[in-house]
Amino acid sequence: MVLHASSGSVSQDQVAQSPVSPVADVRSLYVSFDRGGERIHALRGVDLAIAPGEIVGLVGESGSGKTMLGLSLLGLLPLMAQIQGSVRVDDVDLTTADTQTRRLVRRRALGAVFQDPMSSLNPTMAIGRQVGEVAGSRVEAIRLLKAAGIADATRRLKDFPHQLSGGLRQRVMLAIALAGEPKLIIADEPTTALDVTIQAQVLDLMARMRDSFGCAILLITHDLAVASKVADRLCVLYAGRMVELGTMREVTQRPDHPYSASLLAARLTLNAQRERQLPMIPGEPPDPRSTPVGCAFAPRCPVVEERCLEQRPALRPAARHSGLAACHFMAGALVADRHDSTPWPLDATGRGGVVVRDVVVRFGAHGLFNRRQPFEALRGVNLAVAPGESVAIVGESGSGKTTLLRVLAGLQSLTSGEVQLSGGFQRPQMVFQDAGASLTPWLTVGRLLEERVLNLPRQERQERIRRTLVRLGLPAELMGVRPSQLSGGQRQRVALARAVIEPPELLLCDEPISALDVSLAASVLNVLGQLRRELGFAMVFVTHDLAAARFVADRIVVMTSGEIVEEGPAEDVVREPSAVYTRTLLAAVPEVKTWQ
């Protein structure tokens, strides 16, 4: 679709039009739910057409409506959903079709790949049987697995999902998605939790699938760099509305909407300034229960004007590229100057630290009938973290980085070696990837934090909780709220608050930003940097993201196969890596050519 700038707003036909008949055509789509007697607005009038063989990247923060749009195209909206508008796939309107018709459309025209393949694959069935059920035969199953990049497909037929790596499980899902020769594949965050090398392979595979099979792909992601690797067009959603649409190159280099520009400015790259905090999008997305009078992004916009608060901007031809944008004055070019980064606070006296000497961790089989071969997760690891130092451990899944972190936390016993903690006798505190799973669901935020400071008098406990929440950018009113009522970013900040309300000697972080939106990831990294400098604790930060490692750490340690293959100052490891493995990781990091 090519539209040129002109005066006035854009009609629905203009938004949806395509040079050829689209494989999917969304018109004026509104989706809402009734929850607890209140109306939740998920989508608020979305128009989008996807052409045959096209890859469209769909980006936006959590709650923007990305997944809901994907489910709409799959005809999988829950029964409670209240729908207006149309979603046509294969000449069938999925919003009005009966259940049998929707199933038929999914079988003949649609494929799906979700973020967590383990939740989609049957754990009790071998891979060959699961692919064969949709492929129709063993021979076809092998062909599809090979097309999905599994070289030893015949041998893998007897494997169960738990025996495959995350990357291989995602390739199986792609094979199943291809089985019906679909016209459109909905890929919802298919690379979010994958290592950078596996992520790069999956993205390359998706591009090859499009070229070989001619299928269109809607790639839902929170990472603009991931989308830029393969997408032809980029659609930006905010609060259930499309705010910008255009070619990938145009939107990333010359965004017209302040939200698109803000997402780009907040994104962590290998060239981010380590001396200052990351620029962030202030505030949070609007409450889905409310209906903003003006522009939904206005409360967070760095270039907001009075009319933005009073009048909702229509989607119209962009001023700076050939696509569309919904802004009163197309201010994307101005946003970079308004997102000022903040200098770090002065460093406190460093404390804590740890020394690891010749640590070996071997997982072996025990018992008469268990024939598994022993596996060494750590092979003679030596590591020293100085008081107040931040060390990032990077590597692919299976490299041993999380096992090493569990050793430092005292959660994993050693086969041999020694771990010596510096400072006092306080146990290290740990922040996990899934904050929601690490917070007791039936306790309020106040009770969760109070458990860590029970030694203080009650009044002092309450004051410590309030100060800690405010320090992490959370309102004190959250003390009475349960984890399920919080956003993902809020849950991660509460997990951090719980870890630091009694300042630790050593803070251990296991992939704390891997599943977060770009704006939330920036805020969490900034908070970690602030806390470490203010409280002086040492930190070990496990990640597969080298950009995050470089930003948050003084020193980077690279691991593979249970061994350290490189370590040194963060900037040196990124700029002049000595190990071939490190260079491989760096080459796989997705980068987007920005407009700045």
Which tokens sit at 68?
């809901």
- 345-365+375-428+505-589: CATH topology is Rossmann fold (3.40.50)
Report the first-to-last Cα separation within the chain, whole angstroms.
25
Strand partners, 187: 113, 219
What would the mean pLDDT of 360-380 be, rounded to a whole number?
70
Residue range 168-188: mean pLDDT, rounded: 86
Residues 6 or more apart from 508 whose CB is under 8 A from it?
A: 405, 408, 409, 428, 429, 430, 431, 539, 540, 542
With a cut of 80, say whether residue 9 has pLDDT above it.
no
Q: Which helix (H) or strand (E) holds 245?
A: strand 241-247
pLDDT of res. 43: 93
What's the rounded Cα separation, in Å, for the pair 376 and 563? 10
> In whole angstroms, what is the distance from residue 525 CA to residue 509 CA?
11
Residue 140 has pLDDT above 80, yes or no: yes
- Whose CA is closest to 501, among 448, 538, 423? 448
| Band (332; pLDDT cuts 50, 70, 90) | low
Give the whole-angstrom CA distance, residue 172 versus residue 163.
Answer: 12
Burial group, residue 484, by CB count within 10 angstroms (0-12, 13-18, 19+):
exposed
- Tens-digit pLDDT profile for residues 524-552: 888 888 888 888 899 999 998 899 999 99
Q: To which residue do tokens 């809607």 refer?
A: 218
Place of tokens 């704006």: 519
Of 26-30, 96-100, 178-182, the poorest mean pLDDT is in 178-182
pLDDT higher than threshold 60 for residue 329: yes
Cα 219–chain centre separation: 13
Under the banding of pLDDT at 50, 70 and 90, the label for residue 341 is low
For residue range 552-581, what is the model confidence (pLDDT) as tens digits? 999 999 999 899 999 999 999 999 999 999
One-letter amino acid for residue 430 of the chain: M
pLDDT in tens, 32-43: 988 777 888 999
What pLDDT is stored for residue 594 in this prediction?
52
Quote helix, strand, coil % in the chain, to nearest 5: 35, 20, 40
Specify the pLDDT at position 338.
53
| Residue 63 falls in which region: left (phi positive, over 0), alpha (psi -120 to 50) or beta | left
DSSP reduced 3-state for 555: strand
Q: How far apart are CA 86 and CA 75, in angstroms?
A: 11
If you search the block for the tokens 């409506």, which residue do you land on? 65
Q: Domain map of the chain by residue range?
A: 345-365+375-428+505-589, 434-503
On the question of pLDDT at 370 being above 60, the answer is: no
Classify residue 410 as left (phi > 0), alpha (psi -120 to 50) or beta: left
Decide which of 210 and 351 is more confident: 210
Greater model confidence, 356 or 170: 356
Q: What is the pLDDT of residue 7?
A: 36
Question: Tokens standing for 468?
Answer: 């800690």
Q: Dihedrals φ, ψ of 460, to 5°?
A: -70, -35
Tell me the average pLDDT across 165-187: 84
Q: Both tokens of residue 311?
A: 């009048």
Q: Which two tokens stand for residue 549?
A: 């490692």
What is residue 195's predicted lDDT score, i.e. its pLDDT?
Answer: 78
Show the tokens assigned to 8: 């006035």
**Which 3 state secondary structure label does DSSP give 272?**
coil
Query: What is the Cα–Cα distance from 596 to 592, expressed in whole angstroms?
Result: 11
Window from 335-344, 345-354, 484-493 with minimum mean pLDDT: 335-344
Helices (H), 214-322: 224-230, 248-253, 258-266, 306-310
Amino acid identity of residue 213, one-letter, is F
What is the per-residue pLDDT for 522?
85
The answer to whether 292 and 227 have CB atoms below 8 angstroms apart is no
> What does 350-388 look like in DSSP terms, one character per residue?
P---EEEEEEEEEE---STT--PPPEEEEEEEEEEE-TT
**270 has a pLDDT exceeding 60:** yes
How high does pLDDT run on average in the chain? 84
pTM over 0.75: yes
pLDDT at position 116 over 80: no
Query: Greater confidence, 20 or 168?
Result: 168
- Cα 217 to Cα 26: distance, rounded to the nearest angstrom: 15
- Backbone angles phi and psi of 116, in degrees to 5: -110, 100
Identify the CA nearest to 51 among candidates 207, 209, 214: 214
User: How is residue 211 written in tokens?
Assistant: 């070229």
How high is the pLDDT of residue 23? 93
> Can you read off the two tokens belonging to residue 496?
């951090």
Is residue 399 over pLDDT 80?
A: yes
Q: In angstroms, rounded to a whole number, what is the distance separating the alpha carbons of residues 326 and 240?
A: 13
The two tokens of residue 402 are 């999380």
CA 257, CA 254: separation in Å to the nearest integer? 9
* 55, containing H or E segment: strand 55-59
Do residues 391 and 553 make contact, with C-beta atoms less than 8 angstroms apart?
yes
More confident residue, 456 or 89: 89
Choice among 77-86, 133-142, 365-374 with the minimum mean pLDDT: 365-374
The structure tokens 């707003």 sit at: 9
Residue 15 has pLDDT above 50, yes or no: no
Q: Which residue has the tokens 């994907």?
A: 70
Q: Is the distance from CB of 402 to CB of 510 less than 8 angstroms? A: yes
At 577, the amino acid letter reads P
DSSP annotation of 511? S
CA–CA distances in Å: residue 236 to residues 130, 251, 562, 591: 35, 9, 40, 18
Give the pLDDT score at 147. 82
What's the pLDDT tens digit per position in 201-235? Answer: 888 888 888 988 889 999 999 888 889 989 999 99
pLDDT beyond 90 at 364: no
Query: Which positions ≥6 away from 254 have C-beta within 8 Å?
Result: 320, 321, 332, 333, 595
286, amino acid identity = P
> In whole angstroms, what is the distance from residue 396 CA to residue 563 CA?
12
Sorting pLDDT into bands at 50, 70 and 90, what band is 161? confident
Are 314 and 295 within 8 A, CB to CB? no
The helix or strand, by DSSP H or E, that contains position 409, with its residue range, turns out to be helix 401-409
pLDDT at 69: 95
Supply the pLDDT for residue 176: 86
Return the sign of the alpha-carbon dihedral for residues 401, 406, 408, 414. negative
The DSSP bridge pattern shows strands 92-93 and 82-89 to be: antiparallel
For the chain, the maximum distance between any two Cα atoms, rounded to a whole number of angstroms, is 78
